[in-house]
């Protein structure tokens, strides 16, 4: 950016926000915007996206429009900007008709530099006409992934943004921001918002201070209690997928004498606001919540985020888990995995209001998350790769990187699985395949004549649960794929065929059952 603009941007950063230097990616985006270019910024939660539009907004003449779906965040940001001396206001559904009129008048009078607006407002004709009369040199679209059907949080109201932007003359500079976007989603953002040769900044997705873990087969309640008690004085969030589970976990922690609070959409607005406030000020140590909690909450000292259940996709998981360690200090992100929770998520998709095409995407996204739970590669790298960066390094901190269980050669078992899948014509799912391998006396198995397959009962000495787990790991490791559908079907990849031909071996980590027995004997 020209030296003068750069100086101006840095001065604003210092005087308005009190920061000495820009963080990675911020200056490039700000320079582009102040130079009149469109921009797309993909930066993880906590990286500092807001500054990227707030600094240019403060520097420009006229009004900056910020489209944001998060009403709770809106108020916090508006308050903070006003305190910092940048007159800012918002327009959303919480205003009465009378307040709205006053607000419109004040905006038209040029009283504000920034106006936050909820996307739904853009569907109001009155509002769009009003926008046409204003001087708006710059529009920032926050949570821009909401514009994409491929994203995890598609919002139809985002589709009207570009139509409304067309009404503003001259055409404003448009900048889009999101924390999580795969390449497909990024392209959707550029296309739907009609960004014109935008400056693109994607900062690394990796969060160096976070350690990820997946815990399988644990007694969740006992684990939760032990964990929370082992971190006295520290703040954490426990996410559960249903209100009922939030209630249960919260009362359980309270009974143990832990200062826990609850948050879900079924509570009265006052209680939610109060609990959120208490948590922000460390009066509550643990917040037990559904995913209704956290959007836009900037609490820097959350030391751990425990997911009591699997989330519906990797995007949501990373966003929620990423609320740990926003201050840059170490944070732990733990997911308690149980196969039933995958069924719950499938049920939610099935019962959901999405059309069939969208549901297929949702099933596919859920698979991504199930794979995360079963992968043996670095968890941080899995996530980074999911978002389209193949270059990630193993973090050395996650439960996979620190897994010291022995690596065993499971080639023979893998071959049994693959040949069974092949003999079942690659038309069935995990459970059915496990039943055949187990040799289950099952009506459906007989219905298809699978008791006559040579692989029927090939793993009769194993529990069905263990076979299911083995298959899941083989899927996560890329030997098989599951189709994107409500009843996903196992298919073999080229790697599985190489294994079947005996050209490659398969290794998995196995529980050190023998070792631990030996150790306890030693100790005794």
Distance CA 329, CA 296 (A): 19
- What b/e readout covers 50-76, taking b as 16+ CB neighbours within 10 angstroms? bbbbbbbbbbbeebbbbbbbbeebbee
Nearest alpha carbon to residue 361 among 164, 81, 152: 152
Shortest spacing between CB 481 and ligand ADP, in angstroms: 33
Distance CA 454, CA 263 (A): 53
Shortest spacing between CB 305 and ligand ADP, in angstroms: 15
Distance CA 469, CA 505 (A): 19
Return the HEC string of 301-343. Answer: CEEEEEECCCCCCHHHHHHHHCCCCCCCCCEEEEEEECHHHHH
Shortest spacing between CB 43 and ligand ADP, in angstroms: 5
Shortest spacing between CB 50 and ligand ADP, in angstroms: 3
Is residue 249 within 8 Å of residue 238, measured between CB atoms? yes
Binding residues (CB under 6 A) for ligand ADP: these are 19, 22-23, 26, 43, 45-51, 298
Distance CA 368, CA 388 (A): 13
SS3 of residue 14 by DSSP: helix
Instruction: List, in sequence order, every residue forming a beta bridge with 352; answer none if it has no partner.
Output: none
- What b/e readout covers 318-349, taking b as 16+ CB neighbours within 10 angstroms? bbbbbbbbbeeeebbbbbbbbbebbebbbeeb
Shortest spacing between CB 327 and ligand ADP, in angstroms: 9
Shortest spacing between CB 77 and ligand ADP, in angstroms: 8
Residue 294 falls in which region: left (phi positive, over 0), alpha (psi -120 to 50) or beta: left
Beta strands in 404-482 (DSSP E): 406-409, 480-482
Shortest spacing between CB 364 and ligand ADP, in angstroms: 26
Shortest spacing between CB 51 and ligand ADP, in angstroms: 4
Is residue 407 within 8 Å of residue 485, measured between CB atoms? no
Instruction: List, in sequence order, every residue forming a beta bridge with 434; answer none if it has no partner.
Output: none
Nearest residue (beta carbon) to ligand ADP: 48
């Amino acid at each position: 950016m020209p030296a003068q603009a750069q100086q101006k941007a840095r001065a604003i950063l210092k005087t308005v926000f009190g920061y000495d230097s820009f963080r990675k990616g911020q200056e490039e985006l700000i320079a582009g915007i102040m130079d009149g270019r469109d921009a797309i910024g993909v930066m993880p939660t906590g990286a500092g996206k807001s500054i990227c539009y707030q600094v240019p907004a403060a520097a420009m003449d006229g009004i900056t429009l910020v489209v944001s779906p998060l009403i709770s965040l809106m108020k916090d940001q508006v308050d903070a900007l006003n305190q910092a001396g940048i007159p800012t206001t918002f327009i959303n559904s919480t205003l009465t008709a009378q307040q709205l009129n006053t607000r419109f008048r004040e905006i038209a009078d040029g009283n504000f530099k920034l106006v936050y607006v909820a996307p739904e407002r853009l569907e109001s004709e009155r509002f769009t006409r009003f926008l046409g009369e204003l001087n708006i040199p710059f529009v920032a679209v926050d949570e821009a992934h909401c514009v994409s059907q491929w994203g995890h949080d598609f919002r139809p109201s985002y589709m009207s943004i570009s139509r409304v932007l067309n009404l503003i003359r001259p055409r404003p500079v448009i900048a889009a921001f999101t924390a999580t976007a795969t390449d497909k989603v990024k392209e959707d953002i550029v296309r739907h918002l009609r960004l014109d040769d935008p400056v693109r900044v994607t900062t690394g997705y990796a969060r160096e201070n976070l350690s990820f873990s997946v815990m399988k087969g644990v007694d969740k309640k006992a684990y939760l209690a032990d964990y929370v008690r082992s971190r006295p004085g520290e703040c954490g969030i426990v996410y559960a997928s249903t209100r009922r589970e939030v209630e249960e976990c919260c009362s359980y922690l309270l009974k143990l004498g832990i200062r826990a609070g609850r948050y879900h959409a079924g509570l009265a607005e006052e209680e939610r606001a109060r609990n959120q406030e208490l948590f922000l000020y460390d009066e509550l140590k643990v917040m037990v919540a559904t995913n209704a909690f956290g959007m836009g909450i900037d609490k820097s000292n959350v030391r751990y985020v425990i997911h009591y259940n699997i989330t519906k996709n990797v995007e949501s998981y990373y966003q929620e888990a990423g609320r740990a360690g926003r201050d840059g200090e170490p944070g732990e992100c733990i997911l308690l995995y149980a196969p039933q929770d995958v069924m719950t998520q499938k049920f939610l998709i099935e019962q959901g209001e999405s059309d069939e095409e969208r549901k297929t995407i949702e099933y596919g996204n859920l698979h991504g998350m199930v794979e995360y739970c079963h992968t043996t590669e670095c968890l941080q790298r899995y996530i980074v790769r999911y978002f389209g960066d193949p270059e990630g390094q193993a973090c050395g901190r996650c439960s996979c990187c620190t897994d010291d269980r022995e690596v065993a050669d499971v080639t023979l078992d893998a071959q049994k699985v693959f040949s069974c899948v092949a003999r079942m014509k690659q038309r069935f799912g995990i459970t059915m395949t496990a039943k055949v391998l187990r040799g289950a006396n099952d009506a459906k198995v007989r219905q298809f004549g699978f008791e006559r397959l040579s692989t029927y009962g090939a793993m009769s000495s194993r529990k069905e649960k263990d076979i299911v787990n083995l298959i899941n790991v083989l899927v996560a490791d890329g030997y098989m794929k599951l189709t994107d559908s409500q009843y996903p079907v196992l298919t073999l990849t080229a790697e599985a065929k190489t294994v079947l031909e005996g050209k490659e071996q398969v290794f998995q980590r196995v529980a050190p059952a023998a070792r631990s027995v030996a150790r306890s004997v030693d100790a005794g």
